[in-house]
Amino acid sequence: MYLMWPEPLADVAALLADMRARAARCGRSLRFGYRVHVIVREREADARDAARRLLSRLDAPTGDAIRNRSLDAASVGVRRQAALRDAADAEGFVEEHLWTGIGRARSGCGAAIVGDPDQVVGKLRAYAALGIDAFILSGYPHADECDRVARWVLPALAHAPLARGGEAESADAP
């Protein structure tokens, strides 16, 4: 499994092609996973407002201090997430529904898919069409965003069985 942090669709397509070719030269194949935050609301405008509110009290020096404190602050992946932020528009979007603002306040996975349920599902399906077959999704505040994703996004996507009562289901569970 090759796991990646957020990238625009075209960059993901290029990366997957490169990694498939490298694996093939070694007689191997790869599966691909994508780690991204999600900000989903019933309306796109509300999702964008929620994204802005997440960082509404963050100043640049505090964001820099948070990121530089991290053990991975100088990694290639973190530098790439910073480059995406630098390439983003004035609102922090590097492409439609991919918002890099979250990386202003944390190291590592520095972008979120932002939109209404159909837009978020569409974006995830676009990544899946490229060959991503595993997603690690998160959001802030964690429980609230997980609830919205569970209600509005997961029902529209094929996925593995979900845990009940805090424990993983077994393969033979009903």
Residue 170 lies in a domain: no
Residue 163 lies in a domain: no
Which of 41-50, 101-110, 126-135 shows the lowest mean pLDDT across its residues?
A: 101-110
Residue 64 lies in a domain: yes
Residue 174 lies in a domain: no
Residue 151 lies in a domain: yes
* pTM for this predicted structure: 0.86
Residue 66 lies in a domain: yes
DSSP 33-90: EEEEEEEE-SSHHHHHHHHHHHTTT--HHHHHHHHHHSTTTTSHHHHHHHHHHHHS-T
Closest residue by Cα to residue 99 from 109, 85, 86, 118: 85
In whole angstroms, give the CA distance from residue 34 to residue 24: 21
Residue 173 lies in a domain: no
Per-residue tokens: 163: 């845990």
Which of 36-45, 129-138, 152-161 shows the lowest mean pLDDT across its residues?
A: 152-161
Range of the domain at 94: 2-156
Q: Cα angle vertex 144, ends 79, 39, to 5°? A: 45
Residue 164 lies in a domain: no
Count of structural domains within the chain: 1
Q: Provide the terminal-to-terminal Cα distance of the chain, rounded to the nearest Å.
A: 28
The CATH number of whichever domain residue 134 belongs to comes to 3.20.20.30
CA distances from 16 to 23, 31, 34 (A): 10, 9, 11
On average, the pLDDT of the chain sits at 88
